[in-house]
Amino acid sequence: MVSLGGCISFNRMTYLKQTTMNPRSQTGQRSGISVICAGPPRSTKSQNTPPLSRTKLPNGWPIAYVSKPDVPFLYHEIFNENCYIQHGVELRDDSIVLDVGANIGMFGMYLADKYPKSTVVCVEPVPTTFAALQENLAWIKSAGRSTADIRALNCGVSDGTNQQAEFTFYRGAAGWSTMYPDDKEVQDAVLSYVSDALPAGRGLEDNPLTWFGQWLSKRNSPLGNEIIKKTTSATVKRILGQQQQIQCELCTVSQVLLQQSLPHIDLLKVDVERAELEVLEGIVVEDWPK
């Protein structure tokens, strides 16, 4: 038996747990990338899935996205800050990672490029966001950048109490979509982001409101600053006003382990907007040593 340090990584927070890995759980060589959709097939038409937008990341990679503010925010966290790979977290080329709350798949792309023999299971419940996730993982495959085994599952992760749940999907700020909406918390978070991004227009949609805010921010006058505050508030209201309630399938971490035949998990990354505890409660006792 070999004692290793398994990891549970939350957004902005990382917890380590000691685990024991059975020698038989060593993964073999893999080639190619498989993209797997779990749960019943979803019709894009029936879900009224809006069209995706596309841009390029600072590293030159193409990326499909749902809401523009997510792209620079996620890129900075994942590629610049290495927010999920720090505080003693170490991965090998053949590590197994479960990404719960994968959003558009940027962390999965990062892992596939950095750890070419890894297995990465990306779980995302919202159909529109999942469509972007699939497209981004497909690009990694077509670009031939990695031989990692990357899989995409279209479901939410919870404690196993229910098979479905209602998610609040923010079309203008998809990264804040959640089972447990907190309008005040989301508003404060989006307001903070918009306030920082507005002067340069970084990560905001191109529209007259954004242009006006950029123009005013360069004047730096008392009246202009007051108008900027109102412009910022109007931008936040517009972003949060594009919300929609969606029924999504649910699964548990233990069900993913069984379904995907994962012998162990080296890193469990969780970013699910106030539902983190339920994700952990969905791990059966027998699976914790993994």
Q: Which of 36-50, 66-80, 117-131, 189-203 has the highest mean pLDDT?
A: 117-131
Per DSSP, the residues of 161-229 read S-SEEEEEEETTSGGG-BSS--HHHHHHHHHHHHHHHTTTTTTS--SHHHHHHHHHHTT--HHHHHHHH
The confidence band for 32, taking pLDDT boundaries of 50, 70 and 90, is: very low
Task: Give the contacts of 212 (CB within 8 A, at least 6 positions apart).
Answer: 231
pLDDT of residue 50: 65
Pairing of strands 2-10, 267-270: parallel
Residue 153 bridge partners (DSSP) = 123
User: Above 60 in pLDDT, residue 78?
Assistant: yes
User: Above 60 in pLDDT, residue 141?
Assistant: yes
User: Above 50 in pLDDT, residue 153?
Assistant: yes
Which tens digits make up the pLDDT trace of 88-130? 889 999 999 999 999 999 999 999 999 989 999 999 999 999 9
- Residues above pLDDT 90, as percent of the chain: 46
Quote the tokens at residue 140: 């990694």
User: Above 80 in pLDDT, residue 11?
Assistant: no
Q: What is the DSSP letter of 76?
A: I
Mean pLDDT score, 130-150:
90
CB 34 within 8 A of CB 147: no
Mean pLDDT of the chain: 76
The confidence band for 3, taking pLDDT boundaries of 50, 70 and 90, is: very low
Mean pLDDT score, 75-96:
92
- Which of 100-104, 167-171, 227-231 shows the lowest per-residue confidence on average (mean pLDDT)? 227-231
pTM of the full predicted structure?
A: 0.74
pLDDT of residue 40: 33
Which tens digits make up the pLDDT trace of 235-279? 677 767 778 999 999 999 999 999 999 999 999 999 887 788 999
Beta strands per DSSP E along 57-202: 62-65, 96-100, 119-123, 149-153, 156-157, 164-170
- Over the Cα atoms of the chain, what is R_g? 20
Which of 177, 189, 186, 190 has the alpha carbon at shortest distance from 246?
177
The confidence band for 39, taking pLDDT boundaries of 50, 70 and 90, is: very low
The confidence band for 48, taking pLDDT boundaries of 50, 70 and 90, is: low
